[in-house]
């Protein structure tokens, strides 16, 4: 493969601001996502894919036709083109670190922003490699434009090398994954694959088919504002009640104190005044029973505070976002085994683990499209310390090509 062409493709994608917006009611959630949609549609046509189309919601689909005469399952590869609303995706200015020496990387000397190998020890995995970083003023967008670039490049490679046998391959690029809405309007029947892979993992080798069960919660606390000089027995300070509510949740069951399959409550935001305070939080757990227990605990905490503060008003909304895709993928575990074999055959050590998060694949699996997740190579997503080791980008492409080849070979 032409390495420079692939890197240039990735850089071209990340320079397009396609940040999503959780407060929006449209799909895509931001108008600017259409900029990368149009770019991708044109590029897919240019490389020679068939059935390239985009619907009114920004879902891009295309086909690489089968080049074998025997029957092969139709498989798919999926990535999202939006970037996180948590950090700016505008004016992305990628920097290259060649032959990384294992030390700190200065992202922005003027602002004294440093990618520390002490604070981020995973950096040392990539000593000697070329690493693409931010300039410290935006995120990079490897989540998930690395995945997009990998899928496009793999399809282009297969088109240019017809001697590699493969069945029909469907690809899709989706909006709004970062705000949990990526699969909401994804037409699984139209996509027409028996299974698919999201290219949305992090470190090289990651292969995941177990995700969190996830819910979002919004709490509105209505207090009573009274002049502080005459407030005794009358004022109800909703801010203080909100602090009490947060303090009633298990103090060690938060993201920064959990790992592996440990679940958590995560307060995303709190804003308000004496009379009205709003809390936005998420609930995560790999175990469905523990997940349900967490939701019940939140309801109990709110009920208890309502009893304590009878003149306050509490409004609680809890909405499930996605479920652990393991229960849908285990019955078809061979699709994970194909990906595992593909990694081994291209020299990548598979790292099978549970996702401490979610991907489009979690929701798609419950919509009838089993969808394990494969590494895209980026690290430290959603912020200025995001980076992408270039060899991981290339290896992900190799894995896609090999999965296509193995799927065809298994059905001969």
Torsion angle, alpha carbons of 191, 364, 169, 3, to 10: 130
Placement of tokens 């399959």 in the chain: 261
Q: What is the mean pLDDT of residues 344-348?
A: 98
Which of 211, 274, 214, 281 shows the shortest CA–CA distance to 246? 281
The CA radius of gyration of the chain, in Å to the nearest whole number, is 23
Q: What is the pLDDT of residues 135-170, one digit of tens each?
A: 999 999 999 999 999 999 999 999 999 999 999 999
Q: What is the pLDDT of residues 274-308, one digit of tens each?
A: 999 999 999 999 999 999 999 999 999 999 999 99
> Known catalytic residue: 82?
yes
Question: 332 and 300 in one domain?
Answer: no
Measured at the CA of 401, the angle between CA 206 and CA 139, to 5 degrees, comes to: 50
> 341 with 333: CB under 8 angstroms?
no
Question: 153 and 21 in one domain?
Answer: yes
Burial of 379 (0-12, 13-18, 19+ CB in 10 A): buried
Q: Which one of 322, 337, 354 terminates a domain? A: 322
- Whichever domain contains 355, its CATH number is 3.40.630.10
Per-residue model confidence (pLDDT) at position 52: 98
Q: Which pair of tokens denotes residue 201?
A: 């993992």
Per-residue model confidence (pLDDT) at position 111: 94
DSSP string across 75-127: EEEEEE--B-TTS--SS---EEE-S--SS-EEEETTTTEEE-TTTSGGGGGGT
Instruction: Indicate the number of domains in the chain.
Output: 2
Q: What is the pLDDT of residues 63-85, one digit of tens each?
A: 999 999 999 999 999 999 999 99
Give CA–CA dist 284/258, Å, rounded.
11
> 174 with 183: CB under 8 angstroms?
yes
Placement of tokens 């990535």 in the chain: 79
Hey, how many other C-beta atoms are within 10 angstroms of the C-beta on 118? 10
Q: pLDDT band at 357, cuts 50/70/90? A: confident
Q: What is the DSSP letter of 379?
A: B
> 11 with 153: CB under 8 angstroms?
no
Residue 240 CB partners (closer than 8 Å, separation 6+): none
> Taking the model in full, what pTM does it have?
0.88
Placement of tokens 């980076």 in the chain: 387
Q: pLDDT band at 411, cuts 50/70/90? A: low
Is the Cα dihedral 156, 157, 162, 164 positive or negative? negative
Question: 218 and 78 in one domain?
Answer: no
* Marked catalytic residue, from 17, 82, 143, 206: 82
Question: 190 and 70 in one domain?
Answer: yes
Question: 183 and 254 in one domain?
Answer: no
Question: 332 and 366 in one domain?
Answer: yes
Is 119 or 357 the better-scoring residue by pLDDT?
Answer: 119
Task: Give residue 180's region: left, alpha or beta (phi > 0; psi -120 to 50).
Answer: left
> 217 with 298: CB under 8 angstroms?
yes
> Known catalytic residue: 210?
no
Task: Say which range, 167-181, 188-202, 207-221, 349-363, has the weakest mean pLDDT.
Answer: 349-363
Q: Which pair of tokens denotes residue 406?
A: 């193995």
Q: What is the pLDDT of residues 202-239, one digit of tens each?
A: 999 999 999 999 999 999 999 999 999 999 999 999 99
Query: What rounded mean pLDDT belongs to the chain?
Result: 95
Which of 292, 180, 272 shows the shortest CA–CA distance to 219? 272
Give CA–CA dist 288/214, Å, rounded.
10
Question: 268 and 341 in one domain?
Answer: no
Question: 328 and 318 in one domain?
Answer: no
> 203 with 375: CB under 8 angstroms?
yes
Per-residue model confidence (pLDDT) at position 412: 45
Q: Which one of 255, 290, 322 terminates a domain? A: 322
Give CA–CA dist 147/309, Å, rounded.
50
pLDDT at residue 358 greater than cutoff 80: no
- Whichever domain contains 268, its CATH number is 3.30.70.360
Residue 124 CB partners (closer than 8 Å, separation 6+): 102, 117
Question: 334 and 310 in one domain?
Answer: no
Query: The domain containing residue 296 runs over which residues?
Result: 214-322
Q: Which one of 274, 301, 322 terminates a domain? A: 322
Question: 261 and 390 in one domain?
Answer: no
Q: Which pair of tokens denotes residue 140?
A: 């990079």
Question: 89 and 146 in one domain?
Answer: yes
Question: 137 and 17 in one domain?
Answer: yes
For residue 341, CA distances in Å to 337, 404, 410 come to: 6, 12, 12
* Marked catalytic residue, from 17, 150, 156, 177: 177
């Amino acid at each position: 493969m032409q390495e420079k062409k692939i890197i240039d493709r990735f850089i071209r994608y990340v320079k397009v601001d396609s940040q999503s917006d959780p407060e929006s009611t449209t799909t895509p959630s931001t108008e600017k996502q259409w900029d990368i949609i149009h770019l991708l549609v044109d590029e897919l046509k240019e490389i020679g894919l068939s059935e390239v189309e985009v619907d009114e919601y920004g879902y891009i689909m295309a086909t690489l036709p089968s080049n074998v005469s025997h029957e092969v399952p139709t498989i798919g590869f999926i990535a999202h083109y939006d970037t996180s609303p948590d950090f700016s995706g505008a004016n992305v200015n990628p920097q290259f670190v060649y032959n990384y020496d294992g030390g700190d990387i200065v992202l922005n000397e003027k602002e004294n922003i440093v990618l520390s190998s002490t604070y981020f020890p995973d950096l040392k995995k990539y000593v000697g490699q070329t690493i693409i970083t931010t300039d410290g003023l935006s995120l990079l967008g490897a989540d998930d434009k690395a995945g997009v670039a990998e899928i496009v490049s793999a399809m282009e490679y297969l088109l240019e090398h017809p001697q590699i046998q493969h069945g029909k391959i469907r690809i899709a690029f989706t909006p709004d994954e970062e705000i949990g809405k990526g699969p909401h309007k994804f037409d699984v029947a139209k996509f027409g694959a028996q299974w698919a892979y999201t290219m949305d993992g992090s470190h090289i080798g990651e292969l995941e088919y177990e995700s969190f069960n996830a819910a979002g919660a919004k709490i509105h606390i209505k207090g009573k504002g009274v002049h502080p000089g005459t407030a005794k027995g009358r004022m109800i300070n909703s801010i203080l009640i909100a602090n009490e509510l947060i303090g009633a949740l298990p103090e060690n069951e938060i993201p920064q104190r959990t790992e592996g399959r440990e679940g958590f409550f995560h307060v995303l935001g709190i804003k308000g005044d004496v009379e009205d305070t709003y809390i936005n939080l998420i609930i995560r757990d790999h175990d469905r029973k523990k997940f349900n227990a967490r939701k019940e605990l939140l309801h109990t905490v709110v009920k208890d505070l309502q009893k304590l503060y009878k003149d306050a008003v509490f409004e609680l909304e809890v909405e499930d976002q996605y479920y652990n895709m393991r229960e849908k993928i285990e019955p078809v575990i061979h699709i994970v085994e194909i990906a595992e074999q593909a990694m081994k055959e291209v020299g990548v050590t598979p790292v099978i683990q549970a996702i401490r998060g979610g991907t489009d694949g979690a929701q798609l699996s419950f919509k009838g499209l089993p969808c394990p997740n494969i590494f895209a190579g980026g690290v430290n997503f959603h912020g200025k310390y995001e980076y992408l080791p270039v060899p991981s980008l290339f290896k992900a492409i190799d894995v896609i090509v090999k999965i296509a080849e193995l799927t065809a070979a298994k059905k001969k």
